[in-house]
Amino acid sequence: MAPEPPPNDYEAEAHDIYLGKNRRLADPVFFPASKRSNHEMRVIEETLVREMELEPDGPREFTKNVMVLWGWGICTRWPPGGPVPRLEDFGKAMDAMAADVHGHWKEIQSLVRNHEDAIRDWILRFSPGIEKQESRDKNMLYAGIQQSWERTVKTFNDCADDIKIFMKSDSIESDFEIDVPNYPEYEKTRRLPFSFMCENFLMGHTHAPPEGRDHYVALYSHPYNFFNDQSDGEELEPCECECLGCQCNDEASREFYKGQRILFLAPHIASCDLQDPNCLLSFIHYRGRQHPSVFVKMDNDMTFIGRRTYHLTGPLIPNRMVSFDISKGYRPKLWKGWASRPNPEISGGSKEEYDHLWHQGQLFGASEAWIMLQSQRATYHYLRHLLGFICREIKLQVSPKANPKPPGELERIFRSSRASMDVIAQRALANWFAFTKQQAFLPPPIQISPRYMQDLQFKMEVAEKHIQELFSDPGYFFDCINTLKGHHWANIEMQKDETMINNRGLASIYVEKYVEEDYRHILYFDLIRGVLRRSIFEFYMWHAAYTRLQEFQTTMRKTFKDYGKEEESDTDGTKMLQQPPMFLSDKARRAHAALAEKYLSLVVLLRYDAVFFINEFRKKGIHAGDHTVFEVAYVDQPQEETQSRQNTIQKKHYGAPDLKCRPKFRNKSLRVDEYSADEILRMFFFNSMDNFISDALNCTNCGITEAAGYLQAMSRAHDPDSTKLIFTDLMDDTIDNLNLLSSLADHLECLWPAMDKVGGAAVDETVRRRYFDLGSKDISINFLNFDDFDFEKKIPTKRLNRLFLFFDELQGFKDESISMGHARGDLKRFGASLLCKFICPLNSEGRGSKANQEAISRLEKAMGVSGSDYVFNVKETPFNLDEIKAAKGAKVHLESQPSSHRNVAAREKDKARERQQEREAFKDAVWVERDGMAEVYKYNPRWMQSLHSALEQLQLPPIPGLVDALSSLSLQSAPKAPDGQPKGVMKKREWATLEAVYNVHGSANAAVSYAQLKLAMGAMGYKEDPSGGSHMRFVRQDGRWPHDVLPKGENVIVARTHGGERAAAAKGKAMDWGKRFVERGLTFDFIQQWYVKG
């Protein structure tokens, strides 16, 4: 009897746990058919199998009918070769493509083994200046990169007959030819096709139910979408989808996709990344020396976006999976099965091999494998042509008949090249963007990268410092409250039309009437909840992730002696296909059950952590509520009301309903081309976040990692002052956290595929909950138990009122009566009540996992207060914490309330008056506007032109050189440092910055900016690690003192300033930088031992 198919639920396939990336949604063999029961799907599968066995060469009418139910031939072109290609033709094409790849690789391998040192020297000679537009046209390396594409397109399209039958189209099926890539300049370092904005995703019924199904397909704002409402199969006239108003079937559609196909087929090389010599040298070294089979898992994964969005489609061959046999070169091997489920008649030994291949990530659907081989064809054709260009330039003998160099010389070239690769890899580890970019040009990982441990530790430190400041600095606490208010989704629910009051979201009234105390205080509850929940969750989240990852690594090293060991000799790398060690297949799991459970709990823990940050967009709309964006967005429907004594705003985070916000420019009547470049950019980035992160279905078009990585790169453009108007610190932090966690989740999935064990459609939610509990047990509170963070019912009202009064005074709603010392005392009392009355009891009562006392004590230490401190008394009076500390002999810096928010009250009153005036004007003008409304714009070609010209203003940072320039300063006359050598000389400007940071001259210190701090740190040998977010890490690369003199000072974490890098930091912020340096042992006295002012 056939094994039970997975649950047939499309929404389960797009479950949050997948982080937008699910193989079942990107291959027709795995594609779920909604509106079909599990029984129906089993019958369909059995019929497809039977028909495939009886009619391998056609006509397979049932297969074609099923494809129609899936939308093929209606809103998606038939795949290459038509709906039912002959199985024999498919096999011949696969053999021919594999032979083509292997033949090109053998030529490449010979060139690399014999001449890699000369090739490397030539690349390094011509790589300087390649990133500059003015010198690029005369650069020989750039010329080679570009010219190689023209040759690649010609040889790729002019292929063997067995391949060509799938490359051309006879009717409405897709062809598969490529053209020279034309990637936009503003996307030059990312692989995500954000220029193809997804206009709609839910296509609707392709046939009337119950015979039909809901078909999901991406429809874009360009006119090259496909839609077939004919029955004759002829090429279609341009039309508009009746249900959605999208343009389809433009006569230039085939040429358009031909030009775009390579961007999805080989995104690693169809980009500007190869202009980075680090990436190019890695690409040549590893692809040239290691067998193509080593890369099949990576090459399949990189085509996910193209397959998911139907920019890439491959032949549908039901009940066939493909692996690759390397015993005689490189040949595809067909298996009978569906994804992870082999056919029942397969023998025991073969079934074990099938299962092992699946859990190694070495078994693919027929369409996946076909597209992957096409990707490899493009890759190896291009590399062969590029190396040929370089060899001709340096006049090397590249004839296949040329004699190889002696073994000793080959070994020398290999050792030299491998040493270069090690240097490049170490440099990439020091920079997040370099690290992520480099991954596409390396072999698949065989162990967990140490970069992730480094970043998790960084996040731990930032989260702990944040908790410390949150409960010790009342001004900082309110800054966080005010920041969240500026991103609250209620901001976009305000309506100008009083007649639409019933359509207004429940929370908007609290923002609109913020000047009224009752409404303002109700909003305080939600803002405090949001700040506390995220702060405490992050405090535990990063520690738990770091701890569990470290435990798993330790267990792997103890269990498998060869774990993480790379080959040190010059081989084709095929032995590494057995790395990393397997423990998830049925056979291996029996021997390593505990290890498998530990790994699955780690996977679920990390993915649920990532979902927390997805929900900041999806459930809380921080991208839409932000003041720089909410003008271009609106809410479709308000969040559900929740009953509460104090608060009617939805409290939950994981369990909250999705917030339905959309960009206003999707309205067809909106003339986007008349907006300014700044407004277009804001619309573009909002739509990017809303499409590829916030929308549960749309994000499956690309995966969260690609979306977050793209946005993070754009937020760190070379002029942060301009992007800070779009990416606030809160959004920056959220995107940064999301990118790290989703990247780590993808990294683990590449090492040990596990989503068929814990994915949304694979298992019940209770299974994932069990793994989540196991992952967070003892070391963390259970986030799901604390989801609504309903603290207000537990904290004494008297203590909350004191906090609210302080907030009111800071904003100018009340006269100042609470000193900062008293506010600190109120904050400590609030923290004690939070622990005693809410966190500790709920942790003890919660089901599933819970934090042990050690974990609770960690939180108490960070908060600077315990649950047993400051026991509540109804007669308690305020106390001044600063005076108490001063009485004990502590040096206390006396300060008054910060004035940065003092004008909020006056500004809110002005805004209330303006809103009333706007409503009155709106009511007067609404009928006039309706009468004079312009014709609906179905497709405006000027939109994409305006978008592209605006995006050209955002240039990503230039490619760093392979070798840093040496300083020309003379040190001969400098005094001696502790090691007896001359001290380093620091410019007066950098020295003055450090004096201000360390408060050397007190009030006489000049104001400093983050940009100035970065220069001063660079002068001491530190380099910024631009991983994004509100905090930044400086990692010491070189400098005057030896690395072992100050181990704690090898990396330093500081908070960036608001308002851009060049904005002057508040004096308190600058002094906080100095405080963080001192914590690492980097005192001003220490610096003076090693440097002098120039």
Q: Which residues pair with 342 in a beta bridge?
A: 337
User: In whole angstroms, what is the distance from residue 674 CA to residue 683 CA?
Assistant: 13
Give 313's DSSP letter.
-
Q: Give the confidence band of 40 by pLDDT, cuts at 50, 70, 90.
A: confident
User: In whole angstroms, what is the distance from residue 130 CA to residue 1045 CA?
Assistant: 39
Contact 379, 287 (CB under 8 A): yes
Helices and strands (DSSP H and E) totals, the chain: 39, 16
What is the average per-residue pLDDT within 48-77?
A: 87
Q: How far is CA 53 from CA 61, 183, 319, 751, in A?
A: 13, 44, 10, 35
Q: Give the confidence band of 54 by pLDDT, cuts at 50, 70, 90.
A: very high
Contact 348, 5 (CB under 8 A): no
User: In whole angstroms, what is the distance from residue 691 CA to residue 220 CA?
Assistant: 12
Q: Give the confidence band of 511 by pLDDT, cuts at 50, 70, 90.
A: confident
Q: Any residues with CB less than 8 A from the CB of 630 and at least 6 apart, and which?
A: 491, 492, 624
Task: Say whether pLDDT at 242 is over 70.
Answer: no
Q: Give the confidence band of 450 by pLDDT, cuts at 50, 70, 90.
A: very high
Q: How many CB atoms lie within 10 A of CB 180?
A: 12
Q: Any residues with CB less than 8 A from the CB of 705 and at least 6 apart, and which?
A: 19, 20, 21, 739, 742, 743, 745, 746
Q: Which pair of structure tokens corresponds to residue 1067? A: 């004096």
Contact 603, 748 (CB under 8 A): yes
Contact 561, 731 (CB under 8 A): no
Query: Strand pairing of 198-205 and 214-220?
Result: antiparallel
What is the average per-residue pLDDT within 492-507?
A: 51
Residues in the chain, total: 1094
Q: Which pair of structure tokens corresponds to residue 590? A: 């029996």
Query: What predicted TM-score, i.e. pTM, was given to this entire model?
Result: 0.85
Comparing CA positions, the residue from 513, 529, 518 lying closest to residue 481 is 529
Residue type (1 letter), 486: G
Q: Any residues with CB less than 8 A from the CB of 153 and at least 6 apart, and which?
A: 178, 179, 180
pLDDT tens per residue across span 890-945? 655 556 677 777 777 777 777 667 666 655 555 455 444 444 443 433 344 444 44
Task: Note the pLDDT of residue 825.
Answer: 95
pLDDT tens per residue across span 631-670? 566 555 545 544 443 456 889 999 998 877 666 655 555 5
Listed in order, strand segments (DSSP E) in 765-812 are none
Q: Give the confidence band of 272 by pLDDT, cuts at 50, 70, 90.
A: confident
Calculate the CA dihedral of residues 376, 377, 383, 386 and round it to 10 degrees: -150
What is the average per-residue pLDDT within 21-39?
A: 72
Query: Between the ranges 83-92, 573-582, 903-912, where is the mean pLDDT highest?
Result: 83-92
Q: Any residues with CB less than 8 A from the CB of 914 and at least 6 apart, and which?
A: none
Give 206's DSSP letter.
S
Q: Give the confidence band of 988 by pLDDT, cuts at 50, 70, 90.
A: confident
Angle 641-644-645 (CA atoms, 0-180°, nearest 5)? 145
Burial of residue 980, with CB atoms counted within 10 A of its CB: 0-12 exposed, 13-18 middle, 19 or more buried: exposed
Q: Which pair of structure tokens corresponds to residue 567? A: 């080959």
Task: Note the pLDDT of residue 662.
Answer: 64
Lowest mean pLDDT among 14-23, 814-823, 835-844, 1027-1036: 1027-1036
Query: Strand pairing of 1051-1055 and 1031-1036?
Result: antiparallel
Query: Strand pairing of 1031-1036 and 341-342?
Result: unpaired
Contact 17, 768 (CB under 8 A): yes
What is the average per-residue pLDDT within 997-1018?
A: 77
Task: Note the pLDDT of residue 1064.
Answer: 65
Query: Strand pairing of 984-986 and 1091-1093?
Result: parallel
Q: Which pair of structure tokens corresponds to residue 412? A: 């020398």
Give 173's DSSP letter.
B
φ and ψ of 422, to 5 deg: -65, -40
Angle 799-802-803 (CA atoms, 0-180°, nearest 5)? 90
What is the average per-residue pLDDT within 1060-1081?
A: 74
User: In whole angstroms, what is the distance from residue 1052 CA to residue 1077 CA?
Assistant: 7
pLDDT tens per residue across span 1008-1044? 788 888 888 888 888 887 666 677 788 888 788 887 7
What is the average per-residue pLDDT within 41-69?
A: 88
Q: Which pair of structure tokens corresponds to residue 605? A: 């823990």
User: In whole angstroms, what is the distance from residue 1080 CA to residue 1086 CA?
Assistant: 11
Q: Any residues with CB less than 8 A from the CB of 143 and at least 6 apart, and which?
A: none
User: In whole angstroms, what is the distance from residue 1025 CA to residue 451 CA?
Assistant: 12
552: helix, strand or coil: helix
User: In whole angstroms, what is the distance from residue 443 CA to residue 303 CA?
Assistant: 16
Task: Note the pLDDT of residue 750.
Answer: 94
Identify the sign of the CA torsion 132, 133, 138, 143: positive
First-last CA distance in the chain: 83
User: In whole angstroms, what is the distance from residue 425 CA to residue 360 CA?
Assistant: 25
Name the region of 406 (left: φ>0; alpha: ψ -120 to 50; beta: rest).
beta
| Average pLDDT along the chain | 82
Q: Give the confidence band of 216 by pLDDT, cuts at 50, 70, 90.
A: low
Q: How far is CA 686 from CA 66, 451, 722, 1058, in A?
A: 38, 30, 15, 21
**Quick one: which H or E segment has residue 665?**
none
User: In whole angstroms, what is the distance from residue 284 CA to residue 113 CA?
Assistant: 11
Task: Note the pLDDT of residue 217.
Answer: 72
Task: Say whether pLDDT at 960 is over 70.
Answer: no
Query: Strand pairing of 321-325 and 341-342?
Result: unpaired
321-325, strands of its sheet edge to edge: 331-335, 321-325, 364-365
